[in-house]
Structure 1
Amino acid sequence: MSVSVFAPASIGNVSVGFDVLGLAVRPIDGTLLGDVVTVTHSNSGDQLTVIGDFAQKLPSDSKDNIVWQCLLLFNQQLVAHQQDVAQVKITLDKRMPVGSGLGSSACSVVAAVAGLNAFYQKYHDFSFAEQELLEMMGKMEAKISGSLHYDNVAPCFLGGMQLMVPDHTIISRSLPAFEDCYYIMAYPGIEVSTKAAREILPVAYARADVISFGQNLATFVDACHRHDKAQAFSVLKDVIAEPYRQAILPGYSDAVKYLTESGCLAVGISGSGPTLFCVTDDFNKAQQFASWLNENYLQTSATGTSEGFVHICQTDSQGAVTLP
């Protein structure tokens, strides 16, 4: 009696939409770039086990793990809805590097909450509405980043490109995505704290930057609805975070220069970094960019190894899914 849910990586901000725009992505080679949570009935109390390539990056005490906090919140909501609470064993397969800018914490949160919901739906004939689940995910993400923003959890959960709206009864709207585009994701193998990356930003912005931000975001959204790829990616520029964060990302400026000069449609920082993403609609160029980033953007340790990786991705339209 168990259920497993996979939650995919995502690009937070997508350059032009700080805290309000996110895109779920999936490697074209079938790699599960994200986290998997398995929920199983337990006869000996609630338990949490963490496995996977990046398990060692998480707190050793399971009570400090965000997935455990998700379980506590989920159980609270069950009680509030007058539902019986079952004892469960949760296994987190941590496949996503921590502090990568790929929505690592969102992957764990979404997989945990969606996994628990799928478990109760299958075995206890009860499930929460999509809106309630998304609100729970937002609360958990805020515990880690220090502020409430849905630009990773919404696309990770719902799939596709999501625009956050100032309406608590809706939270996000799906935008038409460019399905023929390739998003090359390059994680250099170093960690950047989301909280620290937010603290590096100024507390106030010049009027010109505010106007530019609003104009670029509005133009991008309009271009998505009109399926105007050239217009959309011509304004994919980050005036809010990238000017301040690029200094803490080794090799980022050189990568932007190479990729732009080589005909890339757009280049940006995924979430808080250090992952870089670039966009093209030409598969041959995607392979070229991936090869260059693998050679020039990944960082090596003193032993000459790297935890970094490069994936050629496309839009993940499904979001969190129950695995067979």
Structure 2
Amino acid sequence: MSKDEIKIFCPATIANVSCGFDVLGLALDGVGDEMVVRKTDQRGVSIKKITGQDLPLDPQKNVAGAAVLALLDAYDGDAGFEIEIDKRIKPGSGIGSSAASAAGAVWAVNQLLGNPFTKLQLVAFAMQGEKVASGVAHADNVAPAIYGGFTLVRSYHPLDVVALPSPKELYAIVIHPQIEIKTADSRKVIKANISLEKGIKQWGNLAGLVAGLFTEDYDLIGRSLEDHIIEPIRSILIPGFDDIKAASMAAGALGCGISGSGPSIFALSKRSDKAQNVAAAMKDTYQKLNVDFDVHVSKINIEGIKVIKK
């Protein structure tokens, strides 16, 4: 790999984490896309190849291309890049497929340019890719991909991302029923207004989860993994959601909820053995319901995007 080319791993992510709609996210370990980005003599960006999924090569219609174009608009100089994407996260799976492409592309380009941009700026560029995918420039997936670990989007205007600690024994389990729910469609079912009562409950849970991460209080983390606003609406779109949640909690999960816009369902657990028990309970539930699925058990990825060395 030359200094003009870089190969990277872009992690899958869990957004919202129950109580943090559009503001909380975490990065997964071992689940993600791979990308090769190289400098070219031609200005701008071109998507040379995509394997694994049928996605547009037009940079303006591709999330990776749109994100890099946003970066190049802010770059003080001329530069050109071509991108190859090995798409291992299925679009519409609810674990940050578009975010991995958008975040990975701008992170790699920034590396090849000598790191002129901060992580916060990279999040802003990657958000433009998310806008192509869902119509909304949200950061709850791209932020943890770029920062690693847990992240909190404290503000969108101006953009303010806070890196949060990841307790050492915390594991994430994700089960993906083999259906697709597009983020844009999933957003359409969300109500524009909520009651003050529900807002107070949600704010308390968000603050409790953040406090639990800082203090490594697993019981507090578990008590805070409740969503009073989005989950009751979106869960209707996911087959067997209530059964999966009940089975996960019975198997020892700290909490369970919808990953991003779904259909993936996530749970958090303390220790690897508990995580494996939860994964087994999830599998058993979907097997009984005759639903095809993928399942992942992962430590929290505190590094985020990383270089793959040959």
TM-score normalised by length of structure 2: 0.90
Contact kept in structure 1, 2:63 and 2:101, CA below 8 Å: yes
Contact kept in structure 2, 1:190 and 1:299, CA below 8 Å: no
Equivalent residue, structure 2, for 1:4: 7
Q: Give the superposition deviation at 1:238.
A: 0.7
> What is the distance in 2 between the residues matched to 1:185 and 1:286?
10
Structure 2: 5+ residue runs without aligned partners? none
What's the C-alpha RMSD, in Å, of the aligned pairs? 2.4
Equivalent residue, structure 1, for 2:79: 85
Give the match's secondary structure for 1:64: coil
Equivalent residue, structure 2, for 1:180: 169
Equivalent residue, structure 2, for 1:110: 103
Contact kept in structure 2, 1:269 and 1:277, CA below 8 Å: yes
> What is the distance in 1 between the residues matched to 2:74 and 2:216?
40
> What is the distance in 2 between the residues matched to 1:167 and 1:319?
21
TM-score normalised by length of structure 1: 0.86
Contact kept in structure 1, 2:106 and 2:126, CA below 8 Å: yes
Relative contact order higher in (CA < 8 Å, ≥ 6 apart): 1
Q: Give the superposition deviation at 1:62.
A: 5.8
Q: Give the superposition deviation at 1:167.
A: 6.7
Give the match's secondary structure for 1:4: strand
Give the match's secondary structure for 1:9: strand
> What is the distance in 2 between the residues matched to 1:3 and 1:299?
44
Once structures 1 and 2 are overlaid, which stretch shifts more, 59-68 or 138-147?
A: 59-68
The alignment-based identity, stated in percent, is 32
Give the match's secondary structure for 1:190: coil
Is residue 189 from structure 1 mapped to residue 178 from structure 2 by the alignment? yes
Over 3 Å counting, the alpha-carbon distance change for 1:127 and 1:289 in structure 2 is same
Equivalent residue, structure 2, for 1:72: 69
> What is the distance in 2 between the residues matched to 1:76 and 1:137?
13
Equivalent residue, structure 2, for 1:139: 128
Q: Give the superposition deviation at 1:226.
A: 2.3
Over 3 Å counting, the alpha-carbon distance change for 1:128 and 1:263 in structure 2 is closer
> What is the distance in 2 between the residues matched to 1:217 and 1:270?
16
Contact kept in structure 2, 1:298 and 1:309, CA below 8 Å: no
> What is the distance in 1 between the residues matched to 2:62 and 2:199?
37
Give the match's secondary structure for 1:171: strand
Which letter does structure 2 place at the counterpart of 1:143? V
- May I ask how many residue pairs the two structures share in their alignment? 305
Equivalent residue, structure 1, for 2:90: 97
Equivalent residue, structure 2, for 1:48: 47
Bigger proportion of residues as strand: 2
Which letter does structure 2 place at the counterpart of 1:64? K
Over 3 Å counting, the alpha-carbon distance change for 1:237 and 1:92 in structure 2 is same
> What is the distance in 2 between the residues matched to 1:201 and 1:232?
25
Once structures 1 and 2 are overlaid, which stretch shifts more, 16-25 or 259-268?
A: 259-268
Over 3 Å counting, the alpha-carbon distance change for 1:2 and 1:298 in structure 2 is farther
Equivalent residue, structure 1, for 2:25: 22
